[in-house]
Amino acid sequence: MTSSNFDPSQVQVCIVGGGPAGLMAAQHLSAQGCRVDVFDAMPSVGRKFLLAGRGGLNLTHSEGFDAFCKRFAERQPVLTPALQALTPEGVCQWAQALGISTFVGTSGRVFPTDMKAAPLLRAWLHALRQAGVRFHMRHRWLGWADDGGLRFKGPQGDVTVKAQATVLALGGASWGRLGSDGAWVPHLQAAGAEVAPLQAANCGFNVAPTGPDRAGWSEHLRQKHAGQPVKPVSITFVGEDGTAQRQQGEFVLTDTGIEGSLVYAFSSRIREQINAHGHSTVYLDLLPSHSPEQVLKETQRPRGPRSLSTHLKSCLGLHGLKMALLHELLNPAELQDPRTLAERIKALPVQLVSPRPIDEAISTAGGVRFESLTAGLMLQSQAGVFCAGEMLDWEAPTGGYLLTASMATGQQAAQGVLDWLRSPAS
């Protein structure tokens, strides 16, 4: 709720959005003596942060800094300065300063020792309030008033806030019920910012229909196997230049297609191929620990009176969902030809035709283009207005990269505010 002594005409820095980017901006600004007010449309801040920690909060990643930066692909050059100022190691030190110790998991991902997000968020908010940061919940940003003030719809009605500087940290458009619904896009476009269309990232995909009801997987596969993991398995993705990229892990079969960590690792490339051609085909290696020669040897072995399913289970350990996928995607002639069957077991083509809805995605691609911003993340068309976090036009895989970059750009925007407030031009 709004502080009782709140005067909307006396705000020095207004932060709109109480996710990791906005909170990190508030921390950096308040540490430098700024009066900071944080506004958020939800009843409490950090809701998506808490959701991300439901299965263990992945703060960052322990790999080398150069490898870490490469995870941001074509956005690496513009994000590197922010990541240099708040490195993955710096994120761990930040958590430690809040009394939260961390550890490195077997995958190289970094987690709080207790794996939980709530204690970290509580400690963070306590430190921010101790530093004088004020929080105003249930205040939905409505854009700018004619006089340049920030318009909010609050619990007691509309309010206009006049701030010396503003940091917008409004998130993308996934998990809208937690506050990041992309409603800011028309306001930024009206203010002269270039905004790349928001798209699903780290998301599942729908498969091309395989059943007569034209609804993705066949009814039999959906009823018997939807929700089950496929593991171990490798996915190979072939790019436009013919380069093949392969990764091993696991994913989940859904009613309409596939999702999960292994799929997310390729999601940006799959999405862009679908955008270009209307579909994308990935190849599943159902037996990644077996060589093609081993598989061929076993498919060619005489099976006598045994069924194909019994034979493959006995010789190759292939059964359950993996066997069901072969029956789903291969015709009878392919299943009965030993050479073709061996080839498909090692490279089973799955055609994907569309991402799942953006609101289901872990994160989003697109957003405010960096070409619309100064080096300090200020809108070139709107002096004193800075942007940070997932509302910027970048994306990254899961593994701690999303959270680290969101926090790093929040700090970068805050430093941009400080530099701008101290400059004669402001």
Summarize the confidence of residues 86-111 as an average pLDDT.
97
Cβ-based burial of 213 (10 A; exposed 0-12, middle 13-18, buried ≥19): exposed
What's the sign of the alpha-carbon dihedral 358, 82, 20, 59? positive
- Residues 120 and 264: their CA atoms lie apart, in Å, by 26
In the chain, ranges of CATH 3.50.50.60 domains: 11-201+360-422
- Predicted confidence band of residue 2 (pLDDT cuts 50, 70, 90): very low
- Predicted confidence band of residue 214 (pLDDT cuts 50, 70, 90): low
Q: Kindly report, residue by residue over 377-408, the tens digit of the pLDDT.
A: 999 999 999 999 999 999 999 999 999 999 99
Instruction: State percent of the chain over pLDDT 90.
Output: 91
**Displacement of CA 51 from its chain's centroid (Å):** 12
109: Cβ–Cβ under 8 A, 6 or more apart, which residues?
58, 60, 61, 62, 399, 400
pLDDT given at position 3: 45
pLDDT given at position 424: 76
Query: Average pLDDT of the chain?
Result: 94
- Residues 405 and 81: their CA atoms lie apart, in Å, by 11
- Residues 368 and 36: their CA atoms lie apart, in Å, by 23
- Predicted confidence band of residue 244 (pLDDT cuts 50, 70, 90): very high
pLDDT given at position 7: 57
388 with 168: CB under 8 angstroms? Answer: yes
For 11-201+360-422, which CATH class? alpha beta
Between residues 211 and 99, which one has the greater pLDDT? 99
Summarize the confidence of residues 109-113 as an average pLDDT.
96
- Predicted confidence band of residue 216 (pLDDT cuts 50, 70, 90): confident
Summarize the confidence of residues 110-137 as an average pLDDT.
96
Answer yes or no: is pLDDT of 1 > 50: no
- Which amino acid makes up residue 381? S
Instruction: State percent of the chain over pLDDT 70.
Output: 96
Answer yes or no: is pLDDT of 369 > 70: yes
pLDDT given at position 55: 79
- Predicted confidence band of residue 339 (pLDDT cuts 50, 70, 90): very high
Summarize the confidence of residues 125-146 as an average pLDDT.
97
Answer yes or no: is pLDDT of 10 > 70: no
Answer yes or no: is pLDDT of 41 > 90: yes
Find, among 122, 145, 162, 220, the residue nearest to 14 by Cα: 162
Whether the bond into 288 is cis, omega within 30 of 0: no
Torsion angle of the four alpha carbons 24, 26, 28, 29, in this order, in degrees rounded to the nearest 10? 160
pLDDT given at position 46: 95
pLDDT given at position 351: 97
Summarize the confidence of residues 62-79 as an average pLDDT.
97
Degrees to nearest 5, angle at CA 242 with 236 and 248: 15
111 with 56: CB under 8 angstroms? Answer: yes
Answer yes or no: is pLDDT of 4 > 70: no
- Residues 386 and 334: their CA atoms lie apart, in Å, by 58
